[in-house]
């Protein structure tokens, strides 16, 4: 898979690209690229934003700037699924992560400032995604959240092949949250571990996990 991040702050991704599971994915053939809107802006002085029509605080990322960046990388027709990160987007969840992980090529567009000209969403992207009902200072962290959830689904990303199979919201758990985990010591400050997990009875362990998983899906 190839993921292109369109951003004004490529350095935000330095840390992300260095993480073990991301490097694993890269070693297995995935590719990450970073595109700075300023590098292809048609405006002078590397300008990318402007004040909003109708007035108001803050600056808005311009549609011609975003279009120029996409054209500079893809030409007339984008081979990527182009996604805008915005708090007003479709909520990101595990199902959407799995859907995106099946794509060969993603373009994640990070907004900044007050927002992004609405014509970007209307004409230039295939999807708009929100990582939660709160406003971040830009789309960079949101893009990393999306990329992280997607990349860990790629073959070779996680060290242990099974670890992404039976985890929260996975198909193996029927879309339910994951069951609780315990490890040594069996007793710590008087806090024990459920007996069944120490029993060696795999069927009972599996049943216990199914029940706990269901309980977590219906809290209270
Ligand atoms: N940009 C700013 N806030 C965001 C959010 N919650 N989700 C996606 N992109 C964003």
Instruction: Give the range of the structural domain holding residue 208, as residue numbers without chain letter.
Output: 171-217
Domain CATH number, residue 191? 1.10.1270.20
57 CA to middle of ligand 1, Å? 18
Q: What is the pLDDT of residue 67?
A: 98
> Does one domain contain both 81 and 146?
yes
Q: What is the pLDDT of residue 160?
A: 61
Give yes or no for residue 142 CB within 6 A of ligand 1. Answer: yes
Q: DSSP letter string over 67-105? A: HHHHHHHHTTS--SEEEEEEEEEEEP-HHHHHHHHT-SE
Residue 164 resides in a domain: no
pTM metric for this prediction: 0.91
Q: What is the pLDDT of residue 170?
A: 72
- pLDDT per residue as tens digits for the range 151-183: 999 988 887 655 666 676 776 767 778 899 999
Domain count, the chain: 2
Pocket test for ligand 1, best of 139, 146, 149 (most atoms within 8 A of CB): 139
> Does one domain contain both 144 and 63?
yes
Query: Which of 151, 179, 207 is where one domain is finished?
Result: 151
| Closest ligand 1 atom number to CA of residue 129 | 8
User: Cis before residue 185, ω within 30 degrees of 0?
Assistant: yes
Instruction: Return mean pLDDT, the chain.
Output: 93
Alpha carbons 200 and 180: distance in angstroms, whole number: 17
- pLDDT per residue as tens digits for the range 56-71: 989 999 999 999 999 9
Q: What is the pLDDT of residue 50?
A: 95
- pLDDT per residue as tens digits for the range 17-34: 999 999 999 999 999 999
Residue 31 is inside which H or E element, if any?
strand 31-36
Give yes or no for residue 40 CB within 6 A of ligand 1. Answer: no
């Amino acid at each position: 898979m190839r993921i292109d991040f369109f951003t004004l702050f490529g350095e935000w991704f330095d840390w992300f690209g260095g993480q073990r599971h991301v490097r694993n994915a890269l070693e297995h053939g995935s590719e990450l690229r970073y595109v700075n809107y300023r590098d292809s802006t048609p405006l002078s002085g590397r300008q990318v934003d402007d004040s909003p029509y109708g007035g108001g605080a803050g600056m808005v990322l311009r549609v011609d700037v975003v279009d120029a960046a996409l054209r500079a990388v893809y030409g007339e027709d984008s081979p990527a699924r182009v996604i805008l990160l915005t708090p007003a987007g479709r909520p990101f969840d595990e199902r959407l992560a799995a859907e995106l992980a099946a794509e060969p090529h993603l373009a994640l567009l990070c907004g900044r400032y007050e927002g992004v000209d609405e014509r970007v969403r209307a004409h230039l992207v295939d999807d708009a995604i929100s990582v939660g009902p709160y406003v971040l200072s830009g789309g960079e962290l949101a893009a990393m959240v999306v990329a992280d959830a997607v990349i860990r689904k790629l073959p070779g990303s996680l060290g242990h092949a099974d670890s992404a199979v039976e985890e929260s919201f996975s198909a193996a758990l029927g879309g339910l949250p994951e069951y609780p985990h315990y490890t040594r010591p069996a007793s710590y400050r008087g806090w024990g571990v459920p007996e069944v997990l120490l029993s060696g009875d795999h069927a009972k362990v599996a049943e216990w996990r199914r029940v706990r998983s269901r309980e977590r899906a219906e809290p209270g």
